[in-house]
RNA sequence: GGAGAGGUGGCCGAGCGGUUGAAGGCAUCUGCCUGCUAAGCAGUUGUAGGGCUUAACCCCUACCGAGGGUUCGAAUCCCUCCCUCUCCGCCA
């Protein structure tokens, strides 16, 4: 959520920044509603002030056993008018709220300008594409022939875009989650949390998934709850409506959760394999920090996510998303794209963003300065560290052998009970 | 799911329909005082919105779990909801 006070005085600047996203967003209706609201407020507040003083006078007169009927009569009218105006203010404020919640964040000045992903910039490339003396297969072929992925039965259980991992497949996914969590907690200083996997709608408004992206979410019928599409939602909202102390910042959490997404609007995309699922596992990184630190923290958080890929020996690149491609709530985003030899393509495996105070303003997450200074909004950040399902895909495709077996990356072996290779059962 | 108790400021805790934004205590910060510490004395300390405004000061409005209602006036009365605690039931 943008700051209405800033918009009031700098609406052209805001419109210009928002236009970089490629959507023509006019702030005029917002400004009009704001002006209307303030006009009404000053009227109704003046009436309330009058009512307060007169009511005290009534109290005084009654105590002295004097007649106050005339004042009471008069105030009946005033109160009625106040009620009317309060109603109008409530309507305006609801509209204002509804409107401002659908306006995306403004991109940071360092974000490349462009309309779509073709304008994204590759910030760096790490490692090299592995070479094979055979034609590398796609992860689904590998997984099914090893008997560790069963898409047919997954379909029976839950339909398209769900998967069933078996045997070493299930083990590998579980190992990856633990591996990631251990590195982030033990080496990167994050505190592990295990949040609810379904949370109330307020949380979704707080991080920006609602009201605009309702169609992407799984709602629990008869409840105010939705299944989490990412741990970002519950974890960022841990501190919703709180005032933190400057000394405790930055606060860094890591969390494993399954993620549930309808994937509306992606029909026909990534229909085969495990790339795009309604449910997948992810380890997330979330930070709350001081505004002046947030861009440093974004670099650190991205590096923390990259470290997982490095330890697993996976080749990847870091992409700076352009103004037309960053998410609704984000001011700046780096995507990590891992190389998948079976598909001969880079695929997103992590997305690391600085939301500045956009989410903090929605979720009312503030902090108080050391010197007892005024409370300010924190900056929030998050990134995948990493998406476990896609990491599994990357391992299958990058560590496949000519005989159809898959070697387990060395860093992961403490987590697979020493298992070094997944081989076809006879 | 059933029965009961309760939700008030940073914390504890009073609270009568009318100078209660809120007693009292603790804590905070600032002075004063004391050889130091402790104690003591005086004062200070919430959030949000709006007006004024460079800013500060100041003024107004709202906030006693949330939302409605009654009333000239609600922390106080009524209704609905949420949450916490205790007991019973059920359960991994």
A61 touches strand B (CB under 7 A): no
For the CA of A53 and the C1' of B20, the distance in angstroms is: 15
A46 touches strand B (CB under 7 A): yes
Taking the C1' atom of every nucleotide in all shown strands and the CA of A54, the nearest one is B72
A374 touches strand B (CB under 7 A): yes
A35 touches strand B (CB under 7 A): no
* Catalytic residue selected from A329, A351, A353, A384: A351
What is the ipTM metric for this complex? 0.85
Taking the C1' atom of every nucleotide in all shown strands and the CA of A76, the nearest one is B72
pLDDT at residue A71, as a whole number: 84
A47 touches strand B (CB under 7 A): no
A49 touches strand B (CB under 7 A): yes
pLDDT at residue A111, as a whole number: 97
pLDDT at residue A59, as a whole number: 86
Dmax (CA) of chain A:
104
Q: Compute CA A418 distance to the chain's CA centroid, rounded to the nearest angstrom.
A: 35
Nucleotides of B under 7 A from a protein CB: 18-19, 47-51, 60-62, 68-69, 71-73
Question: Nearest-5° angle of CA A68, CA A74, CA A79?
Answer: 115
CA dihedral defined by A348, A352, A354, A358, rounded to 10 degrees? 60
Quote the tokens at residue A156. 């029976």
For chain A, list residues with pLDDT below 70. Answer: 371-373
For the CA of A58 and the C1' of B14, the distance in angstroms is: 27
pLDDT in tens, A369-385: 776 667 889 999 999 99
A296 touches strand B (CB under 7 A): no
A271 touches strand B (CB under 7 A): no
Query: Is A242 a residue of the active site?
Result: no
User: Cα(A380)–Cα(A244) distance, rounded to whole angstroms?
Assistant: 13
A72 touches strand B (CB under 7 A): yes
pLDDT at residue A353, as a whole number: 98
Region for residue A108 given its phi and psi (left: phi exceeds 0; alpha: psi -120 to 50; beta: otherwise):
beta
Question: Nearest-5° angle of CA A17, CA A241, CA A93?
Answer: 60
pLDDT in tens, A307-332: 999 999 999 999 999 999 999 999 99
pLDDT at residue A123, as a whole number: 97
For the CA of A225 and the C1' of B4, the distance in angstroms is: 29
Angle between helices A28-63 and A69-100 (to 10 degrees): 160
Query: Is A261 a residue of the active site?
Result: yes
Beta-bridged to residue A226, according to DSSP, are A199, A219
Taking the C1' atom of every nucleotide in all shown strands and the CA of A37, the nearest one is B50
Cα–Cα nearest to A51, from A74, A72, A75, A77: A75
pLDDT at residue A371, as a whole number: 63
pLDDT at residue A56, as a whole number: 87
Query: Is A174 a residue of the active site?
Result: no
Taking the C1' atom of every nucleotide in all shown strands and the CA of A77, the nearest one is B72
pLDDT at residue A372, as a whole number: 60
Query: Is A347 a residue of the active site?
Result: no
Output b/e per residue, A81-91; b: 16+ Cβ within 10 A: ebeebeeebee
pLDDT at residue A194, as a whole number: 92
Query: Is A276 a residue of the active site?
Result: yes
For the CA of A154 and the C1' of B64, the distance in angstroms is: 54
A51 touches strand B (CB under 7 A): yes
A62 touches strand B (CB under 7 A): yes
For the CA of A358 and the C1' of B78, the distance in angstroms is: 41
For the CA of A3 and the C1' of B60, the distance in angstroms is: 23
Q: What is the CA radius of gyration of chain A?
A: 27
* Catalytic residue selected from A261, A347, A362, A366: A261
User: Cα(A409)–Cα(A412) distance, rounded to whole angstroms?
Assistant: 6
């Amino acid at each position: 959520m943008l700051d209405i006070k800033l918009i009031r005085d700098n609406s052209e600047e805001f419109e210009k920044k928002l236009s970089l996203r490629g959507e023509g967003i006019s702030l005029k209706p917002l400004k009009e509603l704001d002006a209307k609201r303030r006009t009404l407020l000053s009227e109704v507040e003046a009436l309330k002030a009058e009512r307060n003083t007169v009511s005290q006078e009534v109290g005084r007169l009654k105590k002295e056993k004097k007649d106050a009927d005339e004042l009471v009569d008069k105030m009946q009218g005033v109160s009625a008018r106040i009620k009317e105006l309060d109603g109008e203010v409530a309507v305006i404020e609801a509209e204002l709220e509804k409107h401002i919640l659908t306006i995306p964040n403004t991109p940071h000045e360092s974000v490349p300008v462009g309309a779509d992903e073709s304008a994204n910039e590759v910030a760096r490339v790490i490692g090299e594409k592995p070479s094979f003396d055979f034609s590398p297969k796609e992860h689904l072929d590998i997984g099914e022939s090893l008997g560790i992925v069963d898409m047919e039965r997954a379909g029976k259980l839950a339909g398209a875009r769900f998967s069933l991992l078996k045997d070493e497949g299930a083990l590998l996914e579980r190992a990856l989650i633990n591996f990631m969590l251990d590195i982030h907690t033990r080496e990167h200083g994050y505190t592990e949390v295990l949040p609810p996997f379904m949370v109330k709608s307020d949380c979704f408004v707080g991080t920006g998934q609602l009201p605009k992206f309702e169609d992407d979410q799984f709602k629990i019928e008869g409840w105010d709850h939705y299944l989490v599409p990412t741990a970002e939602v519950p974890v960022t909202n841990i501190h919703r409506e709180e005032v933190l102390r400057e000394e405790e910042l930055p606060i860094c959490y890591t969390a494993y959760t399954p993620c549930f997404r309808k994937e509306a609007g992606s029909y026909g995309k990534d229909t085969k394999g495990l790339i795009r699922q309604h449910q997948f596992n992810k380890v997330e990184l979330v930070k709350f920090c001081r505004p002046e630190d947030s861009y440093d923290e974004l670099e650190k958080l991205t590096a923390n996510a990259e470290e997982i890929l490095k330890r697993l020996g996976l080749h990847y690149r870091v992409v700076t998303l352009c103004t037309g491609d960053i998410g609704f709530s984000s001011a700046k985003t780096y995507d990590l794209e891992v190389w998948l030899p079976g598909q001969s393509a880079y695929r997103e495996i992590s997305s690391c963003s600085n939301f500045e105070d956009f989410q903090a303003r929605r979720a009312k997450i503030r902090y108080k300065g050391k010197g007892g200074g005024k409370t300010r909004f924190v900056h929030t950040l998050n990134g995948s560290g990493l998406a476990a399902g896609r990491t599994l895909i990357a391992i299958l495709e990058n560590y496949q052998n000519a005989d159809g077996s898959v070697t387990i990356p060395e860093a992961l072996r403490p987590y697979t009970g020493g298992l070094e290779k997944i081989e076809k059962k006879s």
